[in-house]
A and B are shown apart, each in its own frame.
Chain A
Amino acid sequence: NAGVTQTPKFQVLKTGQSMTLQCAQDMNHEYMSWYRQDPGMGLRLIHYSVGAGITDQGEVPNGYNVSRSTTEDFPLRLLSAAPSQTSVYFCASSRQITNTGELFFGEGSRLTVL
């Protein structure tokens, strides 16, 4: 029962470094998404994908890139990390891309940018 798997769980970067947060799901879900969670701000959508080859921006996309080459994987790339990107990142997937589908979350990746 892997579900949604995120790696790494913890990462420390220096300002200006790049990195990729990995997300994989084994439920054959068409919909995948990335959120960041910050204290007092809840979860905010960064990017999402409704299927392989299709991505779109969410509420806070600046500084992040995504791609979806397979149904299973949806990596999130930080091209030049900034301290403002210090956060906990969650990947979530859903079987349905309509309004009633529930999201299945990974356990999160905690990123610190110094």
Chain B
Amino acid sequence: AQSVTQLGSHVSVSEGALVLLRCNYSSSVPPYLFWYVQYPNQGLQLLLKYTSAATLVKGINGFEAEFKKSETSFHLTKPSAHMSDAAEYFCAVSQGNQFYFGTGTSLTVIP
């Protein structure tokens, strides 16, 4: 089975600062990778996905992620944090008919 590791269960950044949320996966073959965002009391929404077309993937709300096979990583970044980015972020890997989620990173944006 796949596994996904998100380093840092809580990340705080100042408004306007760089956002970096880390995700590493375990896979012996190129995976399909996803980042989802969850706002309070809501379901998860897709931010972006990697499906082997390009290593740098751009998503909604200014987020992007880079697939690095050598590091088995798929870190999420945003150049300038906004207050509305405060949420929980989940990295996920899919294999066959199953998705495997990381434990999540809660992002706090400090005004």
Residues of A within 8 A of B (CB): 4, 31, 33, 35, 40-45, 48, 50, 56, 58-59, 90, 92, 97, 99-103, 105-108
A100 touches B103 (CB 8 A): no
Closest 6 CB pairs of A and B: A105-B43, A99-B32, A42-B103, A43-B101, A42-B101, A100-B51
Interface set, chain B 46-62, CB cutoff 8 A to A? 46, 49, 51
Interface set, chain B 77-111, CB cutoff 8 A to A? 90, 94-104
Q: Which of chain B's residues have a CB closer than 8 A to the CB of A31?
A: 97
Residues of B within 8 A of A (CB): 1, 4, 9, 31-32, 34, 36, 41-46, 49, 51, 90, 94-104
Contact of B43 among A40, A97, A99, A108 (CB under 8 A): A108
Q: Which of chain B's residues have a CB closer than 8 A to the CB of A42?
A: 4, 90, 101-104
Nearest-neighbour CB distance to chain B for A59, whole angstroms, equals 8
Looking across the interface, which residue of chain A has its beta carbon closest to that of B46? A102
Contact of A99 among B46, B90, B96, B103 (CB under 8 A): B96
A103 touches B96 (CB 8 A): no
B49 touches A106 (CB 8 A): no
Greatest chain A CB density within 10 A among B9, B34, B104 is at B104
* Docked complex Cα distance between A29 and B92 (Å): 20
Q: Which of chain B's residues have a CB closer than 8 A to the CB of A44?
A: 101
* Docked complex Cα distance between A106 and B46 (Å): 13
